[in-house]
């Protein structure tokens, strides 16, 4: 009976595919966010620790949790399988799918938390740019 399932090939279900493609596009700014964190952390040849770095790190983590808890990501890691126990690879995918499913129950929480963290980081960076806040955190010199 499940072989007759046509997936999302007809309207309105085909619109769900747009959500999956949006997920793929979300990986681009997420990658840029992590690169920004690394650039903020490593400054002038040394490790820089300050409030801004911790805010950007929290932001990157929350946005990552939001993206990777999406049901479209669940489909990416575990969708399209008829048998989870047929091979070691399928069992591994099932394990990843279960972890993502556990994160998925908090997807709305991650959405709101990431939204607030983005706004907070943007306000903080703007305050530094306008010289409202002076973050003169010393660089921890050399290599760690």
The string of pLDDT tens digits covering residues 83-129 is: 667 777 778 888 888 888 888 899 999 999 999 999 999 999 898 88
At residue 102, the pLDDT reads 87
Is pTM beyond 0.85? Reply is no
Beta pairing, strands 46-48 & 139-140: antiparallel
With bands split at pLDDT 50, 70 and 90, how would you rate the model's confidence at 142? very low
**pLDDT for res 62:** 96
The β-bridge partners of 139 are 48
Pick from 79, 67, 65, 60: nearest CA to 22: 67
Looking at 33-42, 46-55, 131-140, which range is the least confident one? Answer: 131-140
Rounded to 5 degrees, φ, ψ at 95 are -65, -40
What pLDDT was estimated at residue 143? 42
Residue 140 dihedral angles phi and psi, to the nearest 5°: -80, 105
| Mean residue pLDDT across the chain | 82
């Amino acid at each position: 009976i499940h072989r007759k399932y046509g997936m999302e090939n007809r309207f309105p279900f085909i619109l769900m595919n747009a959500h999956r493609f949006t997920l793929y596009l979300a990986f681009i700014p997420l990658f840029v966010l992590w690169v920004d964190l690394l650039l903020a952390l490593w400054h002038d040849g040394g490790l820089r620790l300050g409030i801004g770095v911790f805010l950007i790190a929290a932001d990157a983590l929350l946005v990552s949790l939001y993206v990777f808890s999406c049901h479209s990501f669940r489909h990416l890691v575990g969708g399209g399988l008829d048998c989870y126990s047929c091979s070691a690879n399928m069992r591994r995918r099932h394990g990843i799918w279960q972890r993502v499913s556990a994160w998925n129950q908090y997807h709305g929480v991650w959405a709101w938390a990431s939204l607030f963290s983005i706004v907070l980081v943007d306000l903080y960076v703007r305050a530094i740019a306008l010289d409202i806040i002076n973050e003169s955190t010393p660089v921890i010199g050399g290599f760690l």
